[in-house]
Amino acid sequence: MYSKIDTTQEHDPRDPSPWLAMYLDNSIPINKKTKQALMRDNNSKSARYLLPFIGLWSKLAMFVNHIFKFFFPRLFNSSKFLHNILAWGLKKFVSPDANLLIFRHFWVGSEVLQLIANNIDGLDMKTSPITPKNFDDVKNEIFLDHDLNLYNFVIRLNSLLKEKNITIRPPKYLNLDMITEDQFDHIEFPNKWTNVLDLRSAIELFTPFYQFFLTANDFIRASNSLQLDETIAIYTAQILGTPGHLGLVNNKHPMVPTSSYSAAYRLVLHGLAAETLHEILVNLKLDKSKDGIMTPD
């Protein structure tokens, strides 16, 4: 279903391919299938020719929505209707590579939150994993729930830490059971002539709909949740005892929110941060398995 990056193409020093360079570079840990999809997505005709126009339309539409929501804050609010539009749009117009990146993000994010919850000694905390397997699952308001999960997780975690007087530190036994190497080969994403939109174009196109059909609080919370990348990365660093991956986080400073007009670009960075952290955890699990160090069941 997915073509590979052409690593055999003749290298022209006067016209090097930036995406081939990024694909061959291994300085940033990331799942191989994810990396292939992202590089192809970046080099797609949609990203090169449609994104500039869609991006301009998106910002104009968001500006109009902002004014409309100021005067009519409760009109047309329907998360259920929004997610039906999103499910339809993903299935009909988004490329297989972009859909793969979107679907993977929910699984990867859920596993990272489970890792944190399961590796704080003295803490018993449940998470709410979001694991979509098809486009019908998207209709279950998973985009909104993803944002709610992040904030609810931070609130519940820190309330319990304060209540039990616990500090996040490396556990006696690191539990990596929840971290998987799922490649999503079992999901067949549509690849018809209409499935052309790259990831950023799809996000830019969908963001005004997201803004229009959600309440102002839901939309602003969704935009600001991207900066929780830094918060989640810090929790993980405290558990692993290794802060190196913090350098891979670009969405930072959640106490100082930024403009929602840059949400599409920051959302892609959010996905990349989750993927790199997850790959670090996958490699750690594989290394422990090779070394014969077992994690608790």
Task: State the DSSP H helix or E strand holding residue 48, giving kind and residue range, or none if neither.
Answer: none
Asked whether residue 75 is domain-assigned, the answer is yes
Please name the residues in contact with 205: beta carbons below 8 A apart, sequence gap of 6 or more. Answer: 54, 57, 58, 89, 197
Q: What is the DSSP letter of 295?
A: P
Domain of residue 240, residue span: 29-290
Handedness of CA 32, 33, 35, 39 (dihedral sign): positive
Q: Does the CA dihedral 251-254-255-259 come out positive or negative?
A: positive
176 belongs to a structural domain? yes
Q: What share of the chain is helix, strand, coil (3-state, %, to 5)?
A: 60, 0, 35
Residue 46 falls inside a structural domain? yes
User: Has residue 22 been placed in a domain?
Assistant: no
Q: Is residue 82 part of a domain?
A: yes
User: Measuring CA to CA, which residue among 265, 196, 206 is closest to residue 50?
Assistant: 196
| Domains identified in the chain, total number | 1
246 assigned to some structural domain: yes
In contact, 251 and 269? CB cutoff 8 Å:
yes
**48 part of a folded domain:** yes
Please indicate, yes or no, whether the overall pTM of this predicted structure exceeds 0.85: yes
Question: pLDDT digit of tens for each residue in the chain (297 aa)?
Answer: 444 566 556 778 888 888 888 888 999 999 999 999 999 999 999 999 999 999 999 999 999 999 999 999 888 999 999 999 999 999 999 999 999 999 999 999 999 999 999 999 999 999 999 999 999 999 999 999 999 999 999 999 999 999 999 999 999 999 999 999 887 777 889 999 999 999 999 999 999 999 999 999 999 999 999 999 999 999 999 999 988 889 889 999 999 999 999 988 999 999 999 999 999 999 999 987 665 444 444
Cα distance between residue 65 and residue 72, in whole Å: 10
Query: Rounded to 5 degrees, what angle do the CA atoms 148, 207, 57 make?
Result: 165
6 belongs to a structural domain: no
